[in-house]
Amino acid sequence: MSDIRNTIASGKAVLGIEFGSTRIKAVLIDENNNPVAQGAHEWENQLVDGLWTYSIDAIWNGLRDCYSSLRADVRKQYDVEIEKLSAIGISAMMHGYMPFGKKDEILVPFRTWRNTNTKEAASRLSALFNTNIPQRWSVSHLYQAILNGEPHVKDIVFLTTLAGYVHWQLTGEKVLGIGDASGMIPVDSETMDYDSSMLKKFDQLTEVSRYPWRLSDLLPKVLLAGANAGYLTPEGARKLDESGHLEAGIPLCPPEGDAGTGMTATNAVKQRTGNISAGTSSFSMIVLEKGLSKPYEMIDMVTTPDGSPVAMVHCNNCTSDLNAWVRLFKEYQELMGIPVDMGEIYERLFNCSLSGDADCGGLVSYNYISGEPVTGFPEGRPLFVRNSTDKFSLANFMKSHLYASVCVLKLGNDILFKDEGVKVDRLTGHGGLLKTKGVGQRVLAAALNSPVSVMETAGEGGAWGIALLAGYLVNNPSGLSLPDYLDKVVFAGNAGTEVSPTPEEVAGFDKYMEAYMKGLEIEKAAILYKK
């Protein structure tokens, strides 16, 4: 305890902050990369004028509250104040649209990754670039705004992501880590920069050429992991720590997206490794040995924080509907006058699912809180479907919702493993779905028909991942590559606990999947229904 106190007091601790979909989290790590304190702030996106957003005030109020929570944790545990830090890293949910004008003002409310209003733009750009451009990518949002004739477009001088925005405000630097940058417009893993041919094609579009800017002039500078991305300014320090204790001058690593921090936190930046993040949204990231044979609408090509090509399957929906059902059970428990412990409710309900039938007894769930581009749905309607003859039990009910959380993820990964023959040596999972030991892990293993590992640090998530990237900036005197740094310095051979699916589990999930695919017609009908 005294060693940790001295580390913090002497300014040798490293801070990572990640803006997730439902929580902003801060993790402080020591010189051995161990988490020693944390803070958090709960928040929710808002549907405003038909678009999912977080307000600028919500971003900064949330950041300050999160950091204040971290300070309180440090004082409680170690009786010391944070005044200096060795390094800081900022991460956030990837993609989306944050355009700024010449007075550094945001021109329209932040449009998050969750929006599915950019289908026309994404389709046109995918054909133009001959590569899959997802609806949530920044270039899709920009082009859709152009197609819509939105008046703010002519005034854009800077376009960035949430992580890039916060980093800019803390340091004054308009930069972005290559992993997050690859979710704005494709990057070239040879030049380690935005794909120049795609930039040129975009600028030459008739609808685009009439604007006074060129896309390359709007985008943040691309940086690789390990690069210095600027220093905390006095103004930035006040934005982060309203108490005034934190000193300026702290170096920051390149800001990254939650995909890059997930890869880092699971030691999955090396070729033939992969990670699966399962929380509000879900995504898998497989680091490739070679490119895919052709573009796929379900698969995005992004990069690791050090620029290696990655096949990403991103799903808009994962645990939100499942969480809503758990909250319903919480209400019932409160109604009965039973003390509520949400951690215990999750653990008991998740473990209850293990006794359910391998195919959920015929029950099927659709977790579409929002639209799901992978399966072609512009809107979401959460549904639970059963026949009168199905085996309707609590275990099957919970298992059907756990299965539903990863069904869309399975569709994209089946393309990689079955059609493209992609090989992986290790798949590592993390995120809220995997917090209850051995449950979500078994579901993922059955869905992907592959062993899945989970590390003890899986619950630390992306905030720990960006803290590791910040540590890589200042604690790598030997100049190790990022994969070697993670292997030798951070994880030291720890590969986590692996679970392999049984043949019965795989067959059961496949049977559930058949019913799920047939029932998508019900989801289509539900979307047509308007209240």
28, 37 in Cβ contact below 8 A? Answer: yes
Span 2-235+246-257 CATH architecture: 2-Layer Sandwich (3.30)
In this structure, whether the domain defined by 258-317+411-499 belongs to CATH 3.30.420.40 is answered with yes
Sign of CA dihedral 22, 28, 31, 36: negative
Strands 98-100 and 158-160: antiparallel
pLDDT recorded at residue 531: 65
Structural domain spans, the chain: 2-235+246-257, 258-317+411-499, 320-404+503-528
**From CA 174, how far away is CA 169, in angstroms rounded?**
9
Question: Residue 200 forms beta bridges with which residues?
Answer: none
Residue 212, SS3 per DSSP: coil
**From CA 266, how far away is CA 507, in angstroms rounded?**
28
153, 146 in Cβ contact below 8 A? Answer: yes
Q: Which two tokens stand for residue 471?
A: 């540590």
Domain 2-235+246-257 shares a fold with domain 258-317+411-499: yes
Name residue, tokens 């070239």.
Answer: 188
Nearest to 246 by CA among 262, 265, 233, 264: 233
pLDDT recorded at residue 458: 56
H/E stretch holding 39 reads: strand 35-42
pLDDT recorded at residue 457: 64
Exposed/middle/buried for residue 208 (C-beta within 10 Å: 0-12, 13-18, 19+): middle
H/E stretch holding 300 reads: strand 300-303
250, 88 in Cβ contact below 8 A? Answer: yes
Instruction: Divide the 531 residues of the chain into consecutive groups of 10 and give the mean pLDDT of each group.
Output: 92 97 94 95 94 96 98 97 98 95 98 92 96 94 98 98 98 98 94 97 97 97 98 98 97 95 91 89 90 89 94 92 96 94 94 97 96 89 96 98 96 93 90 88 94 76 93 95 94 84 97 97 91 65
Q: How far is CA 124 from the centre of its chain?
A: 25
**pLDDT tens sequence across 140-180:** 999 999 999 999 999 999 999 999 999 999 999 999 999 99
**pLDDT tens sequence across 389-431:** 999 999 999 999 999 999 999 999 999 999 999 999 889 988 8
- Give the global pTM: 0.84
pLDDT recorded at residue 35: 94
pLDDT recorded at residue 80: 97
pLDDT recorded at residue 460: 62
Q: Crossing angle of helices 342-352/320-335, nearest 10°? A: 110
131, 139 in Cβ contact below 8 A? Answer: no
